[in-house]
Amino acid sequence: MRAFIASSMGVTCAAALVLPLAAPAGAAPDAPVHRPAEASEPADLPGSTQSLALDPLSSPSVRATGEPAAPAAGQGLSERDVRPFSMVGVVWDDVDTELHGTAQVRTRATATGRWSGWQDLETHNAEHSADAGTAERDSGAVRGSTAPLWVGASDGVEVRVSPEAPDTRDASAAPVPLPAGLHLELVDPGEDPQEAPDTGAAGADRAARTGAAVLPALTRQETEADAGLTRAAKPYIGPRPRIVTRKGWGADEKIREKAFAYTKTVKAAFVHHSATGNNYSCSQAPSVLRGIYRYHVKSNGWRDLGYNFAVDKCGNIYEGRAGGVTKAVMGAHTLGFNTNTMGIAVLGTFSSSNPPAAAVTAVAKLTAWKLGLFGANPKGKVTLVSGGSNKYKKGKKVKLNVISGHRDGFATECPGARLYKKLGTARTSSARLQGR
């Protein structure tokens, strides 16, 4: 896979992942997957996705909003009624093709019937993926995409995608063409699951497998016992925090790839932001997570959620990619550094907004526990071997913080400047919780 080149617009973080579902029968390994012009799933499924092919936009004009339309080279859809949805994104055929330009949407709220202003979709999502040379990356079924945006309950949509303007210093320069196969994806995350009682210290992975909605917080002594450790071993491990399992946030296990992928250990944690916006309440966080999960699997063709864990603005912690919360599950969160690491996504966008203190504290609690299971010091350094990114070539040994931001392994703005500044606080708190 060729390296990704960050454009002058910069790159920010969004969700990502990986082992795709099987390609259509007879398709070549590297053949793009084409979707019909308009597709949707039956409304009786737990959640659904509407996929609408974009059309060429008309010549510039002034809309009712008073804003000029995108140039004719762009693609989009005019205002239209659609079935209810809460998350929106744009996808295209070739995962190795970047969208050099802008993607914007406006939506109509079901509660008020009012249209929003134009909102930007984060167009640079390539840095989230499985590493080059893996079956996950090279199946041919993965698609390029923007980050999905949470817009809340909506039943109307308009979209415009415009190519990046040519270099003004070169009058003969033409706009970079838009990727082929552009589709608008409208995701309905479905209803929240029924609440289930907490499960005690009976083994975190076994509890999750047997249907627990929540793994409750444990004391340090309970955590050591749950992990099969003894005081004689003098382990540096933080108490297990409360974790909402996949069952708890309502993951539809029928849509993901059934197999799991593991690495040998967990040496480091990469912190991300989801770039889905901050316009959600904490009670809506499970819906946001279901929306991201469905977008990745149904729209991008990935196997499962790429992050190993997620954290919302209130500090609630969620199990991410399936395979066991105590195990070294291989995610697809940081291109080039998915081996022997874990990915944590803080739900929201923190380029210019401060992350809530509760979210930073949750990152510290989660890393103190999970890194402690594998003997990693949150305030330490670790040497990782790059699988290939736009910052480090494949095979290069890189010394990083045990708790790093996505931008440390890939040239990106993720996890947002404001969240990145808080990682030092998270490292100190995490080490203290481990007893260091």
User: What is the mean pLDDT of the segment spanning 193-213?
Assistant: 68
pLDDT tens for 304-313 read: 998 999 999 9
Residue % of the chain over a pLDDT of 90: 60
User: What is the mean pLDDT of the segment spanning 320-343?
Assistant: 93
Amino acid occupying residue 257: E
pLDDT at 84 over 90: yes
Do 253 and 293 form a contact (C-beta atoms < 8 A)? no
pTM, 2 dp:
0.84
What's residue 302's pLDDT?
A: 83
What's residue 137's pLDDT?
A: 56
Residue-averaged pLDDT of the chain: 83
User: What is the mean pLDDT of the segment spanning 180-195?
Assistant: 91
Question: What whole-number distance in Å separates Cα of residue 179 and Cα of residue 230?
Answer: 56
Question: What whole-number distance in Å separates Cα of residue 15 and Cα of residue 269?
Answer: 16
What are the tokens at 251? Answer: 């993951």
What's residue 73's pLDDT?
A: 77
What's residue 371's pLDDT?
A: 98
User: What is the mean pLDDT of the segment spanning 424-430?
Assistant: 98
Confidence tier at 203 by pLDDT (50, 70, 90): confident
User: What is the mean pLDDT of the segment spanning 325-333?
Assistant: 93
Which of 123, 187, 119 lies closest to 159 in space, CA to CA? 119
User: What is the mean pLDDT of the segment spanning 266-273?
Assistant: 97
Which of 121, 1, 3 lies closest to 410 in space, CA to CA? 3
| Angle, CA 179 vertex, CA 405 and CA 155 arms, to 5° | 80
Least confident of 11-15, 71-75, 77-81: 11-15
Do 46 and 252 form a contact (C-beta atoms < 8 A)? yes
What's residue 172's pLDDT?
A: 63
What's residue 416's pLDDT?
A: 92
3-class secondary structure per residue, the chain: CCCCCCCCCCCCCCCCECCCCCCCCCCCCCCCCCCCCEEECCCCCCCEEEEEECEECCCCCECCCCCECCCCCCEEEEEEEEEEEEEEEEEECCCCCCCCEEEEEEEEECCCCCECCCEEECCCCCCCCCCCCCHHHHCCCCCEECCCEEEEEEEEEEEEEEECCCCCCCCCCCCCCCCCCCEEEEEECCCCCCCCCCCCCCCHHHHHHCCCCEECCCCHHHHHHHCCCCHHHCCCCCCCCCEECHHHHCCCCCCCCCCCCECCCCCEEEEEECCCCCCCCHHHHHHHHHHHHHHHHHHCCCCCECCCEEECCCCCEEECCCCCCCCCECCCCCCCCCCCEEEEEECCCCCCCCCCHHHHHHHHHHHHHHHHHCCCCCCCEEEEECCCCCCCCCCCEEEEECEEEHHHCCCCCCCCHHHHCCHHHHHHHHHHHCCC
pLDDT at 45 over 60: no
Confidence tier at 229 by pLDDT (50, 70, 90): confident
What's residue 176's pLDDT?
A: 82
pLDDT at 56 over 70: yes
What's residue 356's pLDDT?
A: 97
